[in-house]
């Protein structure tokens, strides 16, 4: 089976969602640093707590 290699330009909504998620992550890391709480991330197939 052949796959089409046509790449579509991402929609404006997709771009806006990506920006919002990056902004939310930045705010979450800032808050975690301020209060000394860990940030939970996905690494090697597991959820791990990291100190900011």
What's the angle, vertex CA 12, arms to CA 6 and CA 13, rounded to 5?
105
pLDDT in tens, 2-39: 676 778 899 999 999 999 999 999 999 999 999 999 99
- Whether residue 24 is contained in a domain is answered as yes
- Whether residue 19 is contained in a domain is answered as yes
Per the structure, how many domains does the chain have? 1
- Whether residue 30 is contained in a domain is answered as yes
- Whether residue 51 is contained in a domain is answered as no
Supply the pLDDT for residue 2.
64
- Whether residue 23 is contained in a domain is answered as yes
pLDDT at 47 over 90: yes
Which residues constitute the domain of residue 27?
11-35
Torsion angle (degrees, nearest 10) of CA 31, 34, 37, 41: 50
């Amino acid at each position: 089976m052949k796959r089409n290699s046509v790449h579509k330009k991402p929609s404006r909504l997709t771009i806006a969602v990506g920006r919002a998620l990056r902004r939310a992550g930045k705010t979450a890391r800032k808050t975690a640093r301020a209060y000394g709480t860990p940030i939970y991330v996905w690494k090697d197939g597991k959820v791990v707590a990291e100190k900011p």
